């Protein structure tokens, strides 16, 4: 299968700090790649390079076969790249409805409104219901989104990303700060995304979670790929064990 995301020989430095060096990986439709590594290893930088928040110093990034290295973040988003942040990002003082509509195209916005004025049965409506069921939430759409508990906001951020029908979703620590029930929901919604042929890049510190869900793992250390392979291979690799034992990994 053609990769949906290809990262080739990507470098990024901040002053003297090498945040990413010769990063390589590919993700096929429906594949989940776990991106792990100690604090400061370059995981968030890698996501920011893929999404176009940072420009690469070197190397190329392809989305669905197209070279996007020089394209701005909003263009990459329109090409099917969605992401969530380490801390959920929503509009201040605004409703859940308004926040979920962010990033939707006009047709989907119409679907969203229809589902509130009682015209049930649109594709959008059933899709939204399905996603909300997976995360186990039913909410009053007019509620200020920032009044929701942290775990629910994090899950809604994934719902919002999936409503845009991405080809790839980048998720930065979706399970951090969640209780075990919520972690289970996040696992389910990411597996649902993969089943819909969406490629997933998952940064996560909870090892059992990331090892359980990922098709393969890329381990970063000091900005470089330390090890790449199946969860079994990576978790028994001596260099990985050493990187985790040698440095603080829980920040
Ligand atoms: P991780 O997400 O794996 O914890 P980061 O990608 O956030 O690591 O950071 C990798 C390195 O790059 C760190 O040394 C960090 O301080 C540095 N870094 C990241 N972003 C910036 C930035 N915008 N400006 C300067 N240094 C940065
Ligand atoms: Mg980070």
Q: Express each pLDDT in 38-94 by its tens digit.
A: 999 999 999 999 999 999 999 999 999 999 999 999 999 989 999 987 777 887 888
pLDDT value at 136 more than 50: yes
pLDDT for residue 13 is more than 80: yes
| Residue 218 DSSP one-character state | E
pLDDT at 175 over 50: yes
Mutate to test the pocket of ligand 1, among 11, 18, 19, 224 (most ligand atoms within 8 A of CB): 19
Q: Which ligand is nearest to the CA of 39?
A: 1
Task: Check residue 183 and give its pLDDT.
Answer: 95
Average pLDDT taken over every residue of the chain:
90
Tell me which of 14, 50, 56 to substitute to probe ligand 1's pocket, judged by most ligand atoms within 8 Å of the beta carbon. Answer: 14
Which ligand is nearest the CA of 223, by number?
Answer: 1
pLDDT band for 231, please (50, 70, 90 cuts).
Answer: very high
5-245 homologous superfamily: P-loop containing nucleotide triphosphate hydrolases (3.40.50.300)
48 ligand 1 Cβ < 6 A = no
Q: Say how many C-beta atoms besides its own lie within 10 A of residue 181's C-beta.
A: 9
With a 6 Å cutoff on the Cβ, whether 150 touches ligand 1 is no
- Cβ–ligand 1 distance for 38 under 6 Å, the answer no
Does 43 sit in the ligand 1 pocket, CB within 6 Å? Answer: yes
Q: Is 41 in the pocket of ligand 1 (CB under 6 A)?
A: yes
Quick one: residue 103, left, alpha or beta (phi over 0 = left, psi -120 to 50 = alpha)? left
Helices (H), ranges, 73-218: 73-78, 96-101, 106-114, 123-134, 150-163, 180-195, 207-213
Domain boundaries, the chain: 5-245
């Amino acid at each position: 299968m053609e990769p949906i995301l290809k990262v080739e020989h990507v470098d990024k430095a901040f002053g003297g700090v090498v945040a990413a060096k010769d990063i390589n990986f590919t993700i096929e439709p429906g594949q989940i790649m776990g991106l792990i590594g100690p604090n400061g290893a370059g995981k968030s930088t890698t996501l920011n390079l893929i999404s176009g928040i940072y420009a690469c110093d070197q190397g190329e990034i392809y989305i669905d076969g197209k070279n996007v290295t020089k394209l701005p973040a909003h263009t990459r988003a329109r090409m099917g790249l969605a992401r969530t942040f380490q801390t959920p990002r929503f509009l201040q003082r605004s409703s859940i409805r308004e926040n979920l509509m962010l990033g939707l195209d006009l047709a989907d916005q119409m679907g969203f409104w229809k589902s509130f004025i009682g015209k049930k049965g649109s594709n959008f409506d059933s899709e939204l219901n399905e996603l909300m069921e997976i995360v186990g939430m039913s909410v009053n759409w007019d509620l200020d989104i920032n009044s929701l508990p942290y775990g629910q906001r994090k899950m809604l951020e994934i719902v919002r990303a999936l409503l845009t029908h991405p080809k790839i979703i980048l998720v930065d620590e979706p399970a951090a700060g969640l209780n075990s029930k919520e972690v289970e929901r996040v696992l389910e919604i990411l597996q649902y995304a993969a089943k819909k042929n969406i490629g997933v890049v998952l940064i996560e510190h909870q090892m059992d979670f990331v090892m359980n869900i990922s098709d393969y793992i890329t381990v970063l250390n000091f900005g470089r790929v330390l090890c790449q392979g199946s969860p079994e291979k990576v978790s028994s690799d001596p260099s990985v064990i050493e990187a985790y034992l040698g440095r603080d990994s829980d920040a």
